[in-house]
Amino acid sequence: MTANPDAPDGELFLNRELSQLEFNFRVLAQAQDKSIPLLERLKYLCIACTNLDEFFEVRVATVLTALEFGAPLLPDRMDPKLALEKLHSLAGKLVDQQYKLWNDDLRPALNKAGIRVPTRDSWTAKQKRWLQKYFNDEVSPVLSPLGLDPAHPFPRILNKSLNVVVVLEGKDAFGRKGGMAIVRAPRSLPRIIQFPEEISGGKNDFVFLSAILTAFVDDLFPGMKVKGAYQFRVTRNSELFVDEEEVENLASALKGELLSRGFQPAVRLEIADNCPKSIVKILLQNFSLEQNAVYRINGPVNLNRVIQVYDMSDRPELKFPSFKARRAKLDDEAPFETLRDRDVLLHHPYESFRSVLDLLQAAANDPQVLAIKQTLYRTGKDSKIIEHLITAARNGKDVTVVIELRARFDEEANLNLADRLQEAGVQVMYGVVGYKTHAKMMLIVRREGKTLRRYVHLGTGNYHAGTARLYTDIGLMTAQPEICADVHGLFQQLSGLAPAMKLKRLMVSPFTLHAGLLSRIEREAKHASAGKKGHIIAKMNALNESGVIRALYEASQAGVKIELIVRGACCLRPGVPGLSENISVRSVVGRFLEHSRVYWFGNNDKPEIFCSSADWMERNLLRRVETCFPILDADLAARVFDEELANYLLDNQQAWQLHSDGSYSRQLPGDGEVPFSAQGALLAKLCG
């Protein structure tokens, strides 16, 4: 039996945008979970808010673009107008839950715990006096309120900036009648201000800048009467468009696009819930938005800024217990000898990213190392990776770095990084026109006697020490000749010096990974059809590539057991009779962001296991440069399977089951079952 090719795509696939939005409800559920430390719950709330910002900036913007050009969404081919209606409806429910959680639960709980963010009506007289002085001394001098009249049209409002629209009555110094004014909060001002202890009586008392602005906005308009002041924020399309085939210099073109990013078309308006309809109508007209794009907010419009309370509160008992990441068994004095003897596996964040830094530092200072090649997608500020690459170049080594300038929201940082590396003598490349370089790989070439030997690090996550403490990822250090030769060949392809080549061990997008996955899925189906064992387990961040999904459906119908662990958006419908009844999909949302990609194919008791930088998404498999590498060492392969797959299939604390209609339900222990957390088990095993 094969999947019905005539079935409507809407029956075969879930909508990507709706599925991605559903992920934020699972994040918010962490904030609602009272078994989690209080400040961590606050952090989850902020993550859900930040995720929603990006969702509007990217995914809703994509739907609006599809609507403008009359193109259906893929892979489910939903009409963009219908999708937009559903997205706004679902996002509205999410926003309501976010602010209800803040107002009714987290804010009171924080107050009870001695971390106060008082509302305006609960400020003490002493706090009001201090805030008035703070406004006069620190805020008012940098504000430039703008009255709206024929000489002062509605100003350009920067993406996600904090603003207050003010309704005025009376006349100003020039005799102009009051009407409306806009007060923009400069980016130089902190969005959360901490009260001095002697003013509030506590060490952890805070106030939102938005509350200060609306409370003292009268002072900006002497002689006039403020009838109302309403905070608002507009979210804009943040996708950059550069026609790479038409530009001579990608870096220069991106710099030009970045200058205008903050003023692209609007996609959402957040405004105080007590703002009059007449004012909302004016704002909608200025931002060219429809009524469904308005989100009335019962609280600060920039709620995600409360994350600063998490950072500034010295209350470790209200946060997750600290842990010490395990160091990999890599000889600090002789790392290359270790790798000649055996492969080294790293499971972040349970095992320290320091081992990667140590390997690169050793290479930078080793006189026998001749060359280092590295891909960089995201690195973070003050990166040790960059310091070691610069040291290597200054030590006379041939250092080549492939920087992906189009890493979303890191474009400016990567442009600056490229300049810094080039100034140090590093050869910098920007990847391949039309294909983002998302692969995570490092190659070290070392002279040993009369031969040159290669050493490689491959990973599922970025070379970013910060996210390596927060994301789960797998890294492999190896000197296996075939893997090293493949990585060398891929670097040559990226530099434009090699034709497409047949690699021995790696599967690589956009050349062989998609076909390699399809062939292995088909192999499992053939095994099952022949009465043999057919089994697939795969873990990834997202799944939307229609070819892979159709292949999984056909494998399911052939009798293959398919267990998927998909953290975010999943367009596959599991559990549909006659189509996907042998497929299960679960999502795990816990203390760490699940980021590793691991694929296991049972192959009739001759299993293969791969780790990859690629999700099973159309962009990763067809429009990016990605690596997928096998774990060849039997012990390490067993470890990856146990820790990254079997472990997560047992989770009944932080796992959610996807149903065929796109909804998720929390997986809880059944009768007699012992509660089990995959991440908790790994912390106990690797960091205990």
What single string gives the DSSP state of each residue in 368-415?
A: TEEEEEEEES---TT-HHHHHHHHHHHTT-EEEEEE-TTSTT-HHHHH
Q: Please, is 133 exposed, middle or buried when counting C-beta atoms within 10 Å of its C-beta (0-12, 13-18, 19+)?
A: exposed
Q: Active-site residue among 438, 457, 527, 535?
A: 438
List the end-to-end C-alpha distance of the chain, in Å, as a whole number.
49
Specify which residues 629 forms β-bridges with.
611
CA 415, distance to chain mean position in Å, is 20
CA neighbor of 567 nearest in space, from 617, 520, 629, 623: 617
- Sheet with strand 163-169: strands edge to edge: 146-147, 180-184, 163-169, 225-236, 266-272, 294-297
Q: Which CATH class is domain 509-687?
A: alpha beta
Task: Tell me the three state secondary structure of residue 120.
Answer: helix
In the block, which residue shows the tokens 């929390």? 666
Instruction: Tell me the whole-structure pTM to 2 decimals.
Output: 0.93
- pLDDT-derived band at 313, boundaries 50, 70, 90: very high
Is the pLDDT at 101 greater than 90? The verdict is yes
Determine whether 388 is an active site residue. no
Answer whether 686's CB lies under 8 Å from 350's CB: yes
- What's the CA gap between 581 and 577, in Å, rounded? 5
Alpha helices in 424-564 (DSSP H): 481-494, 513-529, 546-557
Tell me the residue type at 242: V
Asked which of 41-50, 322-331, 619-628 is least confident by mean pLDDT, the reply is 322-331
Q: What is the pLDDT of residues 559-571, one digit of tens each?
A: 999 999 999 999 9
Output phi, psi for 507, to 5 deg.
-105, 135
- pLDDT above 90 covers what percent of the chain? 80
Count CB atoms within 10 A of the CB of residue 649.
15
Is the pLDDT at 387 greater than 70? The verdict is yes
Task: Tell me the three state secondary structure of residue 638.
Answer: helix
Q: What is the pLDDT of residues 444-476, one digit of tens each?
A: 999 999 999 999 999 999 999 999 999 999 999
- pLDDT-derived band at 409, boundaries 50, 70, 90: low
- What's the CA gap between 63 and 361, in Å, rounded? 45
- What's the CA gap between 417 and 551, in Å, rounded? 41
Q: Dmax over Cα atoms in the chain, in whole Å?
A: 90
What single string gives the DSSP state of each residue in 276-322?
A: -HHHHHHHHHHHT--GGGEEEESS-TTGGGGHHHHHH---GGGSPPP
Q: What is the pLDDT of residues 356-368, one digit of tens each?
A: 999 999 999 999 9
Q: What is the pLDDT of residues 522-561, one digit of tens each?
A: 999 999 999 999 999 999 999 999 999 999 999 999 999 9
CATH topology of domain 9-318: polyphosphate kinase like (3.30.1840)
Q: What is the pLDDT of residues 204-241, one digit of tens each?
A: 999 999 999 999 999 999 888 999 999 999 999 987 55
- What's the CA gap between 452 and 446, in Å, rounded? 6
In the block, which residue shows the tokens 């990441």? 325
Domains 335-502 and 509-687 share a fold: yes
Q: What is the CA radius of gyration of the chain?
A: 27
- What's the CA gap between 107 and 188, in Å, rounded? 26
Domain-by-domain residue ranges, the chain? 9-318, 335-502, 509-687
- What's the CA gap between 352 and 659, in Å, rounded? 36
* Strand pairing class (561-566; 535-540): parallel
Q: Which CATH superfamily is domain 335-502 in?
A: Endonuclease Chain A (3.30.870.10)
The answer for residues whose C-beta is within 8 angstroms of residue 441's C-beta and 6 or more apart is 374, 375, 456, 457, 458, 459, 487, 490, 491, 627
Long-range contacts, 391-396 (Cβ 8 Å, 24+): 391/361, 391/364, 391/365, 392/360, 392/363, 392/364, 392/365, 393/421, 393/424, 393/425, 393/426, 394/424, 394/425, 395/364, 395/365
Q: What is the pLDDT of residues 27-38, one digit of tens each?
A: 999 999 999 999
Is the pLDDT at 640 greater than 80? The verdict is yes
Answer whether 206's CB lies under 8 Å from 194's CB: yes
Cα angle 433, 438, 440 (rounded to 5 degrees) comes to 130
CA neighbor of 475 nearest in space, from 636, 284, 622: 636
